[in-house]
């Protein structure tokens, strides 16, 4: 059990670092946007980010040691994170997903990714994919959803050693996703 907790902690740290975007950039798609020019020197200033939240399914406990909001149950976890979309590298939601996947592939070169597809998170449009990694002799399946709004990527990452056993709980929590 101790080995599993260390594994989940290291995986959480790696995913947090992998999901980090670059520094904000000017918005080339909309140079007249007040958010783009608000800095005075033409620098990009994103709108105020919103706080993502979910309603945990029964039996899931919050991991208060995690940098990002995270809940766990047995060998499964769900984590929320927020990143500024680096518009110079990812001007569209689809480009951001490719950008984030590239970061993950650097951290987990053996990862096998599904195709990216349209999804919903709390009724909001999202992009999602799944992937598997094997580390320390254990296989882990992850499902990642991105809700891109107002220059931010709100990310939901579900991970489990037995994804099928947790999939109904994951879907309930994804359906409860809100931005406050």
Residues 170-179 pLDDT 10s:
999 999 999 9
CA dihedral 133→135→137→140, nearest 10 degrees, is -40
Stretch 36-64: mean pLDDT: 76
pLDDT, position 44: 60
Asked if the model's pLDDT at residue 42 lies above 80, the reply is: no
Predicted confidence at residue 6, as pLDDT, reads 40
Nearest to 145 by CA among 169, 161, 125, 168: 125
Cite the DSSP H helix spans in the chain. Answer: 2-19, 34-37, 93-107, 163-175
List of domains in the chain: 2-179 (3.40.1000.10)
- Lowest-pLDDT choice from 17-26, 110-119, 138-147, 154-163: 17-26
Mean pLDDT of the chain: 82
Residue 82 in this model has a pLDDT that exceeds 60: yes
Say what the pLDDT of residue 43 is. Answer: 57
Q: Is the pLDDT at 105 greater than 50, yes or no?
A: yes
Confidence band, pLDDT 50/70/90 cuts, at residue 45: low
Confidence check: pLDDT of 37 > 50? no
Angle, vertex CA 47, rays to CA 45 and CA 50, nearest 5: 140
pLDDT at res. 63: 96
Chain centroid to Cα 154, Å, comes to: 6
Work out the pLDDT band at 136, boundaries 50, 70, 90: confident
pTM (2 decimals)?
0.78
| Mean pLDDT confidence for 126-137 | 93
Residue 144 has pLDDT above 50, yes or no: yes
Give the per-residue pLDDT at 9: 44
Average pLDDT, stretch 141-158?
A: 96
């Amino acid at each position: 059990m101790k080995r599993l907790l260390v594994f989940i902690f290291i995986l959480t740290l790696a995913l947090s670092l992998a999901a980090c975007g670059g520094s904000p950039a000017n918005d080339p798609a909309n140079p007249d946007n007040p958010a783009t020019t608000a800095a005075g020197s033409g620098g990009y200033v994103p709108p105020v980010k919103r706080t993502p939240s979910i309603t945990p399914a029964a039996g899931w406990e919050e991991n208060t040691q995690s940098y990002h909001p995270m809940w766990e149950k047995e060998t499964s976890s769900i984590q929320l994170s927020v990143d500024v979309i680096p518009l110079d590298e990812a001007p569209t939601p689809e480009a951001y997903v490719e950008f984030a996947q590239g970061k993950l592939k650097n951290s987990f070169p053996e990862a096998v990714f599904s195709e990216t597809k349209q999804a919903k998170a709390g009724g909001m449009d999202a992009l999602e994919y799944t992937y598997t990694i094997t580390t320390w002799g254990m296989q882990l399946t992850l499902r990642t959803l991105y809700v891109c709004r107002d220059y931010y990527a709100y990310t939901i990452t579900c991970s489990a050693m037995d994804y099928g056993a947790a999939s109904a709980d994951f879907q309930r929590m994804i359906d409860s996703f809100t931005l406050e």
